[in-house]
Each structure stands twice: as C-alpha cells, then as structure tokens.
Chains A and B, each alone.
Chain A
C-alpha cells in the first residue's frame, strides 16, 4: 500500500525507445557522449530543425523529449527540473525559451514534441543515414508535402476508363467460356444418358 505509483514517477514519452542506449563512441568515453548529446539538444531547442546522423539524432531526441515533458509537468518553480534544464541547455537564454515558448506550445499536445524524418542520401556514398530532427510547430515550411490526387483529373479519368474497359472485356471473355463449358458438359451428359438408356433397353 505504501508503494508509490511507478507509472507516474517518470512521464511517459510518446516515441519508441530502444532498450539499450547507444554508446556514440569517442575518446572521452561516456562523458564525451553526454557532451555530444548536450550540444545536440541545445541545437535542437535553438534552431528547431537540424540535420545530423541517425545515431546521434535519435539518442538526443530522447533527451530533448524528456526535458520538454519534465518542463511541462513541473513548471519553472521546480528545482530539479530547473537544474536539468540548466545542465542540458548550454546557452542560458534557451532556458527561458523552454519555459516561456515551448511549454505553452506543447502543453496540450497529444503527440511527441519532436519529429524525426529521413534525409536524402547522396548516391554511391558510404555515409551513414542522415535524418532531420525538428520540433513540432516550428516556423519553417513542411518537409513532407502531401501529393494531392484527384479522381477527376484527366489522366485519372482516362486510366479509370481503360481499367473499366479491360475488366469488361475480361468478363465477357469469361462469360463466353462459361457458355462453352456448360455446352460441352451437357452434351457429354446426354451422351452418358443415352448410353444408360441403351443399356437398360438391352
């Protein structure tokens, strides 16, 4: 009964998290990894859209999501959250941005705060996959443009009509064949019957 509700200790992130963290190998070891991630998280909060390698991007995304969700949950009067923001954001004016801009923006959000999109890769290169990491609701134009499609466009009308025509021809072909089959079978049936009757007579 005295146990805390475990589910509410840490806010749940709205993204998939790998069971193992990535090591992001570098000379300084784990400390260097954290340094790298701090730089990336700061960059993300500052520029709202950045392009980077998939490993570092995905790892930093988790920390950024956590940071924003903590800020929304506890607000700016909560000491541990403030310390956390102070630690992750290398430029101190971004702490203000976090609480005054991003918290109001994401307060009522029902999806993740960040978005990760695959970036195009130059042909015949062996570089690792690039991604674009962005905060939702950023002021830049959308990266993914939905291609509109309309059934009434002339090319679609023409192709639809061609499809219909093809199907009709197939159906009529099948119908013609069905007639033949039944004729064949019925003729064989009558032959059998005749044979039967002849036998009976004999």
Chain B
C-alpha cells in the first residue's frame, strides 16, 4: 500500500507538468489494450500455423540422457521438445531449459521439431552451460520489458525500445524503455522495489515462453502502437522476411532467441536501477530509460552477501551500447541496430 501511494503521489506531480497534447497524439491505443490486441493476434497466428501443418507426419526423436536413452515417435511440426519431456518425467519438464538437437543446435523447449533428430535436455547445471546462460539472460531482459509495461499506471505510456545481446559479464540484464511523459524521472528506492515486486509476480505466474515466426506485415500490424519496434522490424526482416516473436503470458516481444522454457525457472532476482540515456533529438526520441536488474536461475542458492555484491554492481550504468550511438556513425550504426533489434 505504501509503495502504491508513493508511486501515485509521484505520478500526480509529474502529470501536472506533462504535456497532454503530445500524449494524445502519440497514443491511439492504451498500453493495456495494445498488449491484449498483440496477444490476441499472436494466438490467431499460432492457431493458423498449426492448422496449416495439414497431414500429420511422424518423426523419430532419439532421446539421450537420464534415465536411459530411448526413441520417441513424435508429430512433425507439432511436437516440441517439451512434449518429449512430458513423456519422460516431471523433473524433465521443470528443469530442462533448452533442448540440444543433434548435439549442436540449441532449440527452444516450446518450438516444434521439424525433422528426425537426437535430443538432449540442458539445464543450468549442464557441463557447458554458456548457451543456457545466454538464453536465461535474454529471457530476463524480455521479462524486464514485460515488467516495465505492467508496472506503470495507465496515464504513463510505455514504449519498449530494445535490449542488446546478452552479456552476463556486464553484471546486469537491461531493457531500454521510452517513457515520453516522464521527462526527468529518478526512481526512488521504493519505486525500484515495486518494479522488482512486479517482476516477481510475473515470474510466479509460471507461464511458458512460446515462440512464433511471423511475416513482416503481421509483425508491423502487431506493433503498430510502438514506433520504435515498427522501425526495427523492417531491419530484422531484411534477411528472410520473418520476425521471431516470443510470448510470456500476454506480453509479446521480438527476440532472436532461444529463450528458456518457463518463467518459473527464474529464481532470485532484483531490479536494481533505472538510468536515463540521452541522445540527439532529431529522431523524435531524445531519451530512453535503461532498466537494469540481476537474477539467478531457480535452485541456485547464493549467500545474501554475495548476492548483495552482484546487486551493487548491477546498480552501475551498464556499458552496453546505447541505441543513440547510431546517429554519430552510420556505418557501425546499422550493425548496432541489427544487434539491438535482434537480440
């Protein structure tokens, strides 16, 4: 309650100063409506794609791992590694983060299998967990975006911008968010805690991260309310005309993937800081807020002192490339845009 009152008080102060004219022009859908619309389109497209599979063909999946190697006969383009895990045990369903196909290809747990292959499951304790860690960090970034859209009141429009490639050694996962009505926001400690609480709430819902490849047009239609994403989409779709979307709950976002299987696999976490990034004004975006956090997978037990070290480090501004950098040098900047949008 206290937190809520605190936030509302701050919101009131800010809305008094804010410019209502710009607000009404830039927004023709409320944030909540836009989220639901996007999720609905995602559902429709997913249904369409499954119906498009047509005649069901069988593939042989050779599972390698505990309790013993076995062969599963699954449906082509319908069955996912998660379905294979459901044939094995609850432990496999809960702990598997990524699937490893043919020993070299990392595959989302909820992505349909396209051909016969060998299958291994990887969790956070795998012998070589680099890809798993990256997927985890990427998912944390994506969920931070979801958290940012949910946490603010309806009067504050939230436009998600992007998040860069996962860099675990930087100490924090980040999401750059555009908050047009908040020109000079410095979050208090309480507000940061509120954000973290929202994040935990989202993760506790334990929703799967669904993957979908859609065409450029549909992607543009889904992100019509978000100017930044609609600018990034043509760039991403340049190579094969496809955009990869992920959905957690009803939050849909662009990411190259792969991501982890379920939000319940995110354990201890902290949203640590929100920093302001400023840049040139020509493009309409003069500033972004960089949300930062740090998290550990579920089941990883870390001493509170060690975790406080990680939290303190994550409070510093993450040196990952700012989206504003591109205006200065067009050549490098195209690559950066690609990197930022496709992460």
Q: A residues near B, CB below 8 A?
A: 148, 150, 152-155, 157-162, 164-165
Q: When chains A and B are docked, how far (Å) is the Cα of A173 from the Cα of B262? A: 43
Which one, A154, A159, A161, contacts B136 given CB within 8 A?
Answer: A154
Task: List 30 A–B pairs whose Cβ atoms lie within 8 Å, in order of A's numbering.
Answer: A148-B125, A150-B125, A150-B127, A150-B129, A152-B129, A153-B124, A153-B133, A153-B300, A154-B124, A154-B133, A154-B137, A154-B296, A154-B300, A155-B296, A155-B306, A157-B133, A157-B169, A158-B168, A158-B171, A158-B310, A160-B169, A161-B168, A161-B169, A161-B170, A161-B171, A162-B171, A162-B309, A162-B310, A165-B171, A165-B313
Chain B contacts with A in 126-142, Cβ cutoff 8 A: 127-130, 133, 136-137
Contact yes or no, B302 A157, CB < 8 A: no
With most chain B CB atoms within 10 A of its CB, the pick from A152, A153, A155, A158 is A158
Chain B interface residues (CB < 8 Å from chain A): 124-125, 127-130, 133, 136-137, 168-171, 294, 296-297, 300, 302, 306, 309-310, 313
B residues in contact with A154, CB < 8 Å: 124, 129, 133, 136-137, 168, 296-297, 300
Q: Which residues of chain B have C-beta atoms less than 8 A from A159's C-beta?
A: 306, 309-310
Partner of A152, one of B128, B136, B294, B300: B128
**Given contact pairs A158-B294, A159-B310, A162-B313, A153 touches B168 in the complex (Cβ within 8 A):** no
**Whole-angstrom distance between the Cβ of A146 and the nearest chain B Cβ:** 14
The 6 closest A-B pairs by CB, nearest first: A161-B169, A154-B133, A162-B313, A157-B168, A155-B300, A162-B309
B9 to chain A, nearest CB (A): 35
- On chain B, the residues within 8 Å of A153 by CB distance are 124-125, 129, 133, 300
Query: What residues of A have a CB within 8 angstroms of the CB of B128 in the complex?
Result: 152
- List chain A residues, Cβ under 8 A from B302: 155
Using Cβ atoms and an 8 Å threshold, which residues of chain B touch A150? 125, 127, 129
**In the complex, what residue of chain A is closest to B309 when comparing beta carbons?**
A162
Distance of B28 from chain A, by nearest CB (Å): 41
Residue of chain A at shortest CB distance from B296: A155
Task: Report whether A152 and B130 are in contact in the complex, using a CB–CB cutoff of 8 Å.
Answer: yes
**Closest beta carbon of chain B to A167's beta carbon, Å:** 13
Question: Could you say which residues of chain B place their CB within 8 Å of the CB of A152?
Answer: 128-130, 133
B66 to chain A, nearest CB (A): 15
Q: What distance in Å separates the Cβ of B96 from its nearest Cβ neighbour in chain A?
A: 16
Quote the shortest CB–CB distance from B106 to chain A (angstroms): 15
| In the bound complex, CA of A32 to CA of B133 (Å) | 63
The CA-CA distance from A160 to B170 in the complex, in Å, is: 11
* Cα A153 to Cα B169 with chains together (Å): 12
Which of chain A's residues has its CB closest to B172's CB? A158
Q: How far is the CA of A85 from the CA of B136 in the complex (A)?
A: 61
Contacts of A148 in B (CB 8 A): 125
A157 to B136, CA, bound (A): 13
Alpha-carbon gap, A158 to B306, bound state (A): 10
Q: Give min CB distance, B203 to chain A, whole Å.
A: 16
Interchain CA distance A153-B137 in the complex, whole Å = 13
| Of listed B125, B133, B302, residue having the most chain A CB within 10 A | B133
Nearest chain B CB to A100 CB, angstrom units:
34
Question: In the docked arrangement, what's the CA distance between A157 and B300, Å?
Answer: 13
In chain A, what residue has the closest Cβ to B301? A155
Please, how many angstroms separate the alpha-carbon atoms of A157 and B170 in the complex?
Answer: 10
Complex CA–CA separation, A178 to B309 (angstroms)? 28
Instruction: Give the CA-CA distance A164 to B169 in the complex, in Å.
Output: 10
- Closest chain B residue to A161 by CB distance? B169
Residues of chain A within 8 A (CB-CB) of B124 are 153-154
Q: How far, in whole Å, are A162 and B169 apart by their CA atoms in the complex?
A: 8
